[in-house]
Amino acid sequence: MDEETDRRQDGPSDEALMADYQAGDLSAFDLLYLRYENRVYNYLFRLTGDPDTAADLFQETFLRLHRSRRQYDPKRRFSTWLFTLASNLAKTEFVRQSRSRQSSTDVEQLSGAESADRSVEQKETLSLIQRALEALSPDQRQVILLSKFERLNYREIANMTGKTVHAVKQMAYRALQDLRHKLKDI
């Protein structure tokens, strides 16, 4: 079991915390923030490839959570709702910057650790993976990141994106095929 899973199993569920926050309990927001801060930032970073953009979108995501707290339905899964907020903000950013924007990816931040001992080969591998992800369409990249990194199922992703489950599966399949082709040498 990973640290994120352990934290979510301690104490009330995410949905119960959000219901408490809707009722005015500010400490419930603090717990939700602690549970999701790393996951949301990492998701946005992988999606955008830019640490500054990811940080801006991260802040806006939690601001939107606060502003939209009354619209949240506690019968629905909180993580799906939160990642929908983050995804919608990222889509808006993609449109604003257009597909021709240049990414300023820092391989050290992608890996999540700065280590002087990291070999050149590992850096090159991480760089290849990031470039392969960036070469996907924004929709394909979103599906891969949500399914493989955030472990959401296709139905949840379909609900978030407004696409059918079949379309999401097809997008994931094509994206994985493309990634396998691009990364076959590593």
What per-residue confidence (pLDDT) applies to 37?
95
Q: Are residues 75 and 17 in the same domain?
A: yes
What per-residue confidence (pLDDT) applies to 121?
67
* Number of domains making up the chain: 2
Q: Are residues 19 and 86 in the same domain?
A: yes
pLDDT digits (tens, 9 = 90+) for 79-115: 999 999 998 888 888 767 654 444 444 444 444 444 4
Indicate the residue among 32, 65, 97 that finishes a domain.
97
Residue 38 near residue 58, CB atoms below 8 Å: no
Q: Are residues 92 and 132 in the same domain?
A: no
What per-residue confidence (pLDDT) applies to 122?
66
Residue 109 located in a structural domain: no
Residue 147 located in a structural domain: yes
Query: Can you list the alpha helix ranges (DSSP code H) found in 12-119?
Result: 14-22, 26-48, 51-67, 78-97, 107-111
Q: Are residues 92 and 163 in the same domain?
A: no
What per-residue confidence (pLDDT) applies to 9?
53
Residue 1 located in a structural domain: no
Indicate the residue among 97, 129, 164 that finishes a domain.
97
Q: What is the 3-state secondary structure (H, E, C) of 66-91?
A: HHCHHHCCCCCCHHHHHHHHHHHHHH
Q: Are residues 23 and 89 in the same domain?
A: yes
Residue 184 near residue 112, CB atoms below 8 Å: no
Q: Which residue has the tokens 């569920």?
A: 13
Q: Are residues 83 and 15 in the same domain?
A: yes
Helix axes 165-182, 120-135, angle to 10 degrees: 140
Residues of the chain with confidence (pLDDT) below 50: 1-8, 99-117
Q: Are residues 91 and 12 in the same domain?
A: yes
Domain that holds residue 65: 7-97
As given in the structure block, the two tokens for residue 14 are 């995410």
Residue 106 located in a structural domain: no
Residue 88 located in a structural domain: yes
Residue 85 located in a structural domain: yes
Q: Are residues 129 and 160 in the same domain?
A: yes
Q: Are residues 167 and 88 in the same domain?
A: no
What per-residue confidence (pLDDT) applies to 97?
64
Residue 110 located in a structural domain: no
Q: Are residues 77 and 142 in the same domain?
A: no
Q: Are residues 73 and 12 in the same domain?
A: yes
Phi-psi region of 53 (alpha: psi -120 to 50; beta: other; left: phi over 0): alpha
What per-residue confidence (pLDDT) applies to 39?
95
Residue 114 located in a structural domain: no
Q: Are residues 128 and 62 in the same domain?
A: no
